[in-house]
Amino acid sequence: MTGLLVSVRSASEARIALAAGVDVIDVKEPNRGSLGAASTETIAEIVQVVGARLPVSAALGELLDWLPANAAQLPAGLTYAKFGLAGCAKEANWPDLWRAAAGSLPASVRPVAVVYADHLAACSPTAEAIVAAAESIGAAAVLVDTFDKRGGNLLSHWTIDQARWLIDQAQSRKWPSVLAGSLTADAIAPLLPLAPSLIAVRGAACAHHRTGEIDAARVGQLVRLVNSSGLFRSTARPAHFSHGPEKIS
């Protein structure tokens, strides 16, 4: 059954998401972009609040801005981390840069491959190129998101068939698949029959804008919507996020 990932920016938001029954807590700072990195102090506070109850992932910003020395500051208890690949279409050696960044992460933190559906706006590699390179970084999951939050949601850039393709690619590699990208309830509904491992949201969980505070009632509604995916039949069971300590390589 598909689960729900909610991106939070503070320990108080993490408590709201936990109480609502989400499946994965993600940490990001929405004022810093699609995959804006929160401070290491904020990540540590959220990891402490969540404890061992759920996996915690963190956005670490764009790959081309990453400083490997920052990896040492990541808190114990973080399960997954992800870099955006904006600008990497202009870098011939982006797979090497990606491997180096993933290799700088603590052994207990597993990298998530991120595809930007609006890859032209992001100047990022294509979905096909990213999936092909993801195994070499030891990717533990694959996520599709949107880079420019002013440009519409995931379905403004991808068809249902493209989303299905990514899920199929993930399942063939035994990776969890995550669908994100300014998803509203109306956009989530047609994606649920595809049986992704997770639906990921930020803006839909907020009372106003993605840079506002998340709202308990909205998160609860999203949990119920995503839980309805159990009504759909899938030919393959999606992989699930876990707390496992090993990197997949």
- Residues involved in catalysis: 28, 82
Is 58:80 a contact under the CB 8 Å cutoff? yes
In the chain, DSSP finds a helix count (H) and a strand count (E) of 8, 8
In terms of C-beta density within 10 A (0-12 exposed, 13-18 middle, 19 or more buried), how is residue 246 classed?
exposed
Is 195:2 a contact under the CB 8 Å cutoff? yes
Distance of CA 48 to the CA centre of its chain: 20
Q: 130 is written with which tokens?
A: 């990213």
